[in-house]
């Protein structure tokens, strides 16, 4: 199987919900939520890709970097490269049910594990989605999973964190930006924002269970610092793939200021529009410790199961290694912002 075949396999299975476009960029599916699109005009989704496209590499070719070291350790995860599969849930209403939630999480978990990386698992209003992901934690993966819990009412959050602990997880996260999710409103189970006091209580409950805790969906230095002050171990710069609010900035545009404000206090993850290993390197050079990818892995899992996920991860790895060699970057620790330049032309691709 190759990447084209797995996308061709996926297309008929998801055809009422995703066109499996040559470039997954938000143009073909604007406003399609439920579905795979971005909210409203999909400006936030498109800006994620544009922010990355506006960056170019400064190459460096006189050096002895021949086999770059991509290994990284972040928030307790020892990964063969700084990439994780982002949590994607609601296969029935977002992708037309090409496979069950459990089969999907298994494909992602096994494929990620084969590639030496980890994955986030999703949460949803529907019963069983969170638990389907946790089933992957019990397996001898070696790389672990990071379950994401939505900002539900406190009893439900603590119950889900306890389930994650029981399943053997070492770290969990909360996608705080799900407050904006239309799908939760449609299902009459919306989420509400959390005060600093509430966040402190959740983080302290997670720490009491021995779980590290990250907060996803933070897009400003102020929010990221609040999360760190509340005890979070990680911040995930994300606009939920543009699904929670129209006209948010691209994540690559805000990442440098967030990473600078945090100054290494907590782990920094980032996602949104990352479509190649080169994009992974750009995010790392902008200040991320690890990068997440959503939609492309969802299509890989539908079109090729665990093999498809591992194949896509291998392609990200090969592109990342090439970009590291071409910029003279010996290891993830050596990545520097000077490998990037902002493009001068006004073109968008």
Ligand X SMILES: Cc1cc2nc3c(=O)[nH]c(=O)nc-3n(C[C@H](O)[C@H](O)[C@H](O)COP(=O)(O)O)c2cc1C
Q: Which residues bind ligand X (CB under 6 A)?
A: 36, 48, 86-90, 94, 122-124, 148, 175, 216, 238, 240-241, 243, 271-274, 293-295
Smaller CB distance to ligand X: residue 68 or 87?
Answer: 87
**Longest CA span, the chain:** 59
The two structure tokens encoding residue 80: 């063969």
The two structure tokens encoding residue 120: 């986030």
Smaller CB distance to ligand X: residue 134 or 274?
Answer: 274
Smaller CB distance to ligand X: residue 86 or 219?
Answer: 86
**Closest distance of CB 93 from ligand X, Å:** 9
**Closest distance of CB 116 from ligand X, Å:** 20
Smaller CB distance to ligand X: residue 60 or 102?
Answer: 102
Q: Exposed (0-12), middle (13-18) or buried (19+): which is 167, by Cβ within 10 Å?
A: middle
DSSP structure class, residue 331: B
- Alpha-helical runs (H) found in the chain: 3-13, 43-53, 91-95, 101-114, 129-134, 154-167, 182-186, 196-208, 221-229, 251-262, 277-285, 295-326
**Closest distance of CB 228 from ligand X, Å:** 19
**Closest distance of CB 130 from ligand X, Å:** 9
**Closest distance of CB 202 from ligand X, Å:** 15
Smaller CB distance to ligand X: residue 241 or 304?
Answer: 241
Between the alpha carbon of residue 26 and those of residues 83, 107, 251, 254, 299, the distances in Å are: 22, 25, 15, 19, 14
Separation between Cα atoms, residue 10 and residue 298, nearest integer Å: 10
Smaller CB distance to ligand X: residue 86 or 325?
Answer: 86
> Residue 326, Cβ neighbours under 10 Å: how many?
17
């Amino acid at each position: 199987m190759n990447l084209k075949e797995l996308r061709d396999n996926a297309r008929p299975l998801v055809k009422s919900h995703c066109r499996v476009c040559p470039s997954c960029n938000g143009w073909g599916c604007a406003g399609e939520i439920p579905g795979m699109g971005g909210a409203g005009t999909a400006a936030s989704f498109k800006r994620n890709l544009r922010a990355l496209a506006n960056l170019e590499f400064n190459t460096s070719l006189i050096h002895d970097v021949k086999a770059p070291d991509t290994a990284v350790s972040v928030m307790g995860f020892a990964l063969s490269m700084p990439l994780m599969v982002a949590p994607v849930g609601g296969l029935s209403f977002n992708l037309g049910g090409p496979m069950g939630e459990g089969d999907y999480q298994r494909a992602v978990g096994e494929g990620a594990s084969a590639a030496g990386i980890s994955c986030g698992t999703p949460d949803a209003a529907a019963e069983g989605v969170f638990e389907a992901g946790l089933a992957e934690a019990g397996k001898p993966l070696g790389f672990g999973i990071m379950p994401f819990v939505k900002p539900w009412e406190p009893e439900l959050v603590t119950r889900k964190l306890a389930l994650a602990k029981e399943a053997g997880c070492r770290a969990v996260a909360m996608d705080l930006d799900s407050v904006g999710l239309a799908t939760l409103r449609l299902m009459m189970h919306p989420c509400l924002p959390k005060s600093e006091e509430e966040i402190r209580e959740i983080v302290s409950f997670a720490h009491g269970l021995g779980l590290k805790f990250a907060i996803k969906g933070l897009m400003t230095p102020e929010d990221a610092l609040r999360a760190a002050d509340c005890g979070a171990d990680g911040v995930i710069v994300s606009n939920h793939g543009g699904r929670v609010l129209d006209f948010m900035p691209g994540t690559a545009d805000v990442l440098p200021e967030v990473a600078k404000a945090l100054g290494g206090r907590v782990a920094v993850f980032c996602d949104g529009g990352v479509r190649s290993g080169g994009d992974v390197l750009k995010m790392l050079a902008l200040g991320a410790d690890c990068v997440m990818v959503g939609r492309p892995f969802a299509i890989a899992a539908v079109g090729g199961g665990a093999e498809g996920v591992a194949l896509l991860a291998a392609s990200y790895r090969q592109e990342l290694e090439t970009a590291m060699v071409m910029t003279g970057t010996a290891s993830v620790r050596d990545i520097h912002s000077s490998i990037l330049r902002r493009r001068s032309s006004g073109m968008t691709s």
